[in-house]
């Protein structure tokens, strides 16, 4: 751990008018922001270059790696980089991965909102909300059978912080929970999980699940984790929910499945392979899809919370104490 004889110097990658930066008022006296910018031009001056060379920490509030990778040669003293977001697949350029720089992210901070959205998706299909809306709009009174969540099964692919938050609510509804993860042993003693599955058992999990939830990180190994074979193995009538990353699902295979060539009955999608979702995508028109514009965790202050949490972790970093932030395994990709 490096020793800091003066203030910890922080470079912030963000637009200067980013409202979340007011949360940096929570920084302790032992740290100060020396430079803020969102493009190479912002850091091209002599003063800004000196700030980069002296920076101990980078707070990244922009979702792309291109700028940071360009600045990388100038960040000669960098010890820690924090991402305001949970996803880091876009940040893992080779030089950062191979370096000793600590990388943290906002993993776990947004899990509660995502879990609520997951249950919304389950209830949307269980209670046939699409039909309810149609009948109300058309002033049509016709009773129909609905389903219960109680007694059904939720299978979670990529069981981590978000998956656990979803499992907690699923249990409150009386659901059975199946969990799949790269290291199944980490579920040992988890009272929320009824059965654990390993990396090669995704089709088995899907064949037993009424609601299939994806919350995995995006890595080269998880890209198109769910494609034709997995969709064909799904339990008849099951609902697929993606709250992880869009490319976890082979979107064309999913569209084909939703049109009737597989067992999947519907999908709840907050993330997509291309964002914004192109107007030409058939997903917009499918009645058995509930989609949202990647905002399931977008509460009024979610990014403010993330920056504030970073600022409040500075003293712990200086004292070499546990940060209370998620440390990314750069080789694993999450």
Which residues are designated catalytic?
245, 275, 294
Contact call for residues 242 and 271 (beta carbons, < 8 A): yes
Q: Collect all residues with Cβ–Cβ distance below 8 Å to 314 and sequence separation of at least 6.
A: 8, 27, 28, 30, 31, 57
Alpha carbon 61 to chain centroid, angstroms = 15
Closest CA to 150 of 182, 122, 175, 115: 175
Please give the Cα distance from 67 to 113 (Å, whole number). Answer: 30
Whether 225 and 202 have beta carbons less than 8 Å apart is answered as yes
38: tokens are 């969102």
| Rounded CA separation 262/258 (Å) | 7
- Sheet architecture: strand order including 176-180: 195-197, 176-180, 153-157, 211-214, 239-242, 266-269, 289-291
The token pair that represents 260 in the structure block: 């009737």
Q: Distance between CA atoms of 184 and 205, rounded to whole angstroms?
A: 13
d(CA 274, CA 123): 27
Closest CA to 175 of 195, 149, 212, 193: 149
CB-side exposure of 80: number of CA atoms within 13 Å? Answer: 23
102 pairs with which residues across the strands? 80
**The tokens 């960098």 sit on which residue?**
78
Q: On the CB side of 322, how many CA atoms lie within 13 Å of its CA?
A: 2
CB 213 within 8 A of CB 118: yes
């Amino acid at each position: 751990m490096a020793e800091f004889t003066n203030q910890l110097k922080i470079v912030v990658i963000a637009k200067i008018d980013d409202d979340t930066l007011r949360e940096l008022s929570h920084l302790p006296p032992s740290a100060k922001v020396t430079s803020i910018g969102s493009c190479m031009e912002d850091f091209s001056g002599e003063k800004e270059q000196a700030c980069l060379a002296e920076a101990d920490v980078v707070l990244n509030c922009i979702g792309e790696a291109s700028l940071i990778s360009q600045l990388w040669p100038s960040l000669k003293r960098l010890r820690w980089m924090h991402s305001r977001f949970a996803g880091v697949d876009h940040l893992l350029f080779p030089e950062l991965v191979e370096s000793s720089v600590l990388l943290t992210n906002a993993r776990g901070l947004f899990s509660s909102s995502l879990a609520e959205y997951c249950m919304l998706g389950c209830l949307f299909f269980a209670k046939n909300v699409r039909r309810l809306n149609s009948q109300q709009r058309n002033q049509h009174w016709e009773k129909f059978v609905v389903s219960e969540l109680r007694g059904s099964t939720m299978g979670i692919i990529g069981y981590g912080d978000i998956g656990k938050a979803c499992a907690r609510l699923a249990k409150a509804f009386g659901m059975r929970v199946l969990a799949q993860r790269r290291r199944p042993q980490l579920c040992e003693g988890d009272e929320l999980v009824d059965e654990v599955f390993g990396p090669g058992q995704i089709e088995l999990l899907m064949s037993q699940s009424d609601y299939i939830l994806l919350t995995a990180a995006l890595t080269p190994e998880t890209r198109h984790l769910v494609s034709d074979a997995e969709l064909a193995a799904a339990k008849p009538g099951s609902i697929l929910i993606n709250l992880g990353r869009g490319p976890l699902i082979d979107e064309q295979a999913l569209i084909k499945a939703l049109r009737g060539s597989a067992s999947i009955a519907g999908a709840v999608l907050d993330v997509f392979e291309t964002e914004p979702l192109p107007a030409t995508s058939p997903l917009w028109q499918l009645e058995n899809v509930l989609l949202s514009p990647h905002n399931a965790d977008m509460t009024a202050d979610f990014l403010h919370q993330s920056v504030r949490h970073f600022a409040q972790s500075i003293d712990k970093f200086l004292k070499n104490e546990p940060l209370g932030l998620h440390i990314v395994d750069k080789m694993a990709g999450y």
